Chains A and B, each alone.
Chain A
């Protein structure tokens, strides 16, 4: 009995770990609710109305899609950078203040997660509209008649606010991992506060910067509600275009082709970011 068992036994590396069974519910859900629809949409983009790349040819040639894709990438990049500029000092402060102030800062950073995205975006509509508080404020500085609703800057402002936690949290977790004694060491070796920041804190926080940037960038690429409410059809982003194809034109193959273009763009950005993170790990990960 033992002998037979031995013969039947697979080599160790081919035998699946029984614990992998714990993944089954997650894998099933992913397969049914994500993989199947995604593959079907992609499949249709290559097969309808006929087998081939006709859908892609149409999209690339229609003079609209490429422009929208470029705008989406540009807005997402801008949102990522602006978010970084706002979140970096915030996250740094979180690591240097006492526990009470830190608790308040963490709560403020997480606050957006507790409010509905829709509610927050409508709040921005109110704030940014013609004659609204922000328009009034700008008027005090001599900037007359500024309406941000329906413009790309309005969209960027709204998206930055919504995506801020996605930047603050990875930055904070990386910065928290930086040994404070390194800062003291740099000071003892003759570095002033600014030099210490530039030569020690900044390089060691790079993994968090790259993680935050890629997270915000990828989420921004697929943003729908905020651009729809704060932007306008003239400066639509790719998600809006996909929405129009599906909801108004019922053109699933075209929507699928757009989704694939987005997917490719996202994959390219993520691959580049992963390379950078690995580089960052080499510098900062060795503690």
Chain B
């Protein structure tokens, strides 16, 4: 199997705006983003956050209100979709029902005037790439959802576009198939070296596939970074809550260099985690950074400790998820390794402890902002 020799293009979004007629708020509000050639970027966000609209503007399906879309430095905003030479994979496959698999895949080649023999060769190659050899004579209706999506992939890749745009490509598939196709997408990305931009609302999908995640909310980009960066150092409560589980200590007041007070308890904080000049911050803690102790004195030296109440214990295979309630009533969770002999029961008091290095501080949000980002 010969991988198709294609090279990715860089993609730059420059203050991209989409305003639909009659709406006060922009659907996409000044989105600026650099995607490197050959990178896999996931657009993640709740529905209505502008991620799909942004993708459609890149593809040329939705007219741009203002801003630029640059592919390898060339502004394509004025080109119709059929002249942008980008690949697009739709959530519901959008295969032509009146054509066989082979003719579906050959469709973009015929539009480009590729000769018959070359077309046959490329179609065969694309079928091998998505591992669907032998199905060229079938019609889409005779294929399973996963097979249909792979045909759609082959059709979008066969003409070697430099950027592949994917709109919730696995959204219509069941879980097992989705996980397998996630690995397939990663393999294709690795083999082809094409730039992938993938819209998803599934954080696991984004975390497992993408080199970088662009997190959208309310038409704006909230944070862009590698999955680890977004998980470990979220820049806002929204990002912290959207990606993964977290325990959040609200309304912490800075009390000098490298420390805050949370409800009267003094907590150490690394200097680099300081969120700048805010009079109130929220401290975000991930379940695996937290541990539980019976007594305050049992906490490892140098660790922060906050009294909590155990509310629930759930076995998750390799860990136990211990739900806790903080002094201010907020809910949180601690991941306890299953080989930890400590046996916690709902209703018990405990001390939640963590190494100060593992907390990340984000600006506290006023109730009004919070209402607009529920």
Contact = CB atoms under 8 A, between A and B. Distances in A.
B345 to A, nearest CB: 53
Among A190, A195, A199, A284, find the residue whose CB has the most chain B CB atoms closer than 10 A.
A190
B141 A179 contact: no
B53 to A, nearest CB: 14
A179 B139 CA distance: 16
A185 B82 CA distance: 9
Contacts of A133: none
Nearest to A206: B98
Contacts of B142: 286
A283 interface: yes
Given A199-B107, A286-B141, A190 B97 contact: no
Given A179-B94, A181-B94, A200-B96, A187 B140 contact: no
A55 to B, nearest CB: 47
Contact of B111 (A195, A285, A286): A195
Given A200-B96, A284-B97, A188 B81 contact: yes
Contacts of B159: 189-190
A185 B111 contact: no
Contacts of B332: none
Given A184-B81, A189-B155, A286 B107 contact: no
B86 interface: yes
A90 to B, nearest CB: 23
A200 B85 CA distance: 19
B352 interface: no
A58 B100 CA distance: 53
Interface in B65-118: 80-83, 85-88, 90, 92, 94-98, 107-108, 111-112
Given A188-B59, A188-B81, A287 B107 contact: no
Size category, B interface? 20 to 34
A216 interface: no
Contacts of B139: 286
Name which of B85, B98, B139, B155 has the most chain A CB atoms within 10 A of its CB. B98
Contacts of B108: 189-190
Contacts of A191: 82, 107, 111
Contacts of B87: 188
Given A188-B81, A188-B88, A189-B155, A287 B141 contact: yes
A118 interface: no
A186 B96 CA distance: 9
Contacts of B95: 185
Interface string B223-254: 00000000000000000000000000000000
B61 interface: yes
Interface string A158-194: 0000000000000000000001011011111111100
A85 B79 CA distance: 32
A283 B97 CA distance: 7
A72 B94 CA distance: 44
B140 A286 contact: yes
Given A189-B111, A190-B108, A204 B82 contact: no
Contact of A287 (B60, B80, B83, B97): B97
B87 to A, nearest CB: 8
Contacts of B81: 184, 187-188
A149 to B, nearest CB: 45
Contacts of B97: 182, 204, 283-287
Given A181-B90, A204-B97, A188 B61 contact: yes
Of A182, A189, A190, A195, chain B has the most CB atoms within 10 Å of the CB of A189
B107 A184 contact: no
A185 B85 contact: no
Contact of A283 (B60, B82, B98): B98
Nearest to B111: A190
Interface string B141-181: 11000000000000110010000000000000000000000
Nearest to A184: B61
B80 A190 contact: no
A182 B82 contact: no
Interface in A256-287: 283-287
B141 A186 contact: no
A244 B155 CA distance: 63
Q: Give the interface centre of B60, B86, B88, B97 by most chain A CB atoms within 10 Å.
A: B97
A280 B225 CA distance: 50
Contacts of B156: 188-189
Please give me the 8 A-B residue pairs with the lowest Cβ-Cβ distance, nearest first. A286-B141, A190-B111, A185-B94, A283-B98, A188-B88, A189-B108, A187-B81, A181-B94
6 contacts: A188-B87, A188-B156, A191-B82, A191-B107, A284-B97, A286-B98
Given A189-B155, A287-B97, 20 more contacts: A181-B92, A182-B97, A184-B94, A187-B60, A187-B82, A188-B61, A189-B156, A190-B82, A190-B85, A190-B108, A190-B112, A192-B82, A200-B96, A203-B98, A283-B98, A284-B97, A286-B98, A286-B140, A286-B141, A287-B141
Interface of A: 179, 181-182, 184-192, 195, 199-200, 203-204, 283-287
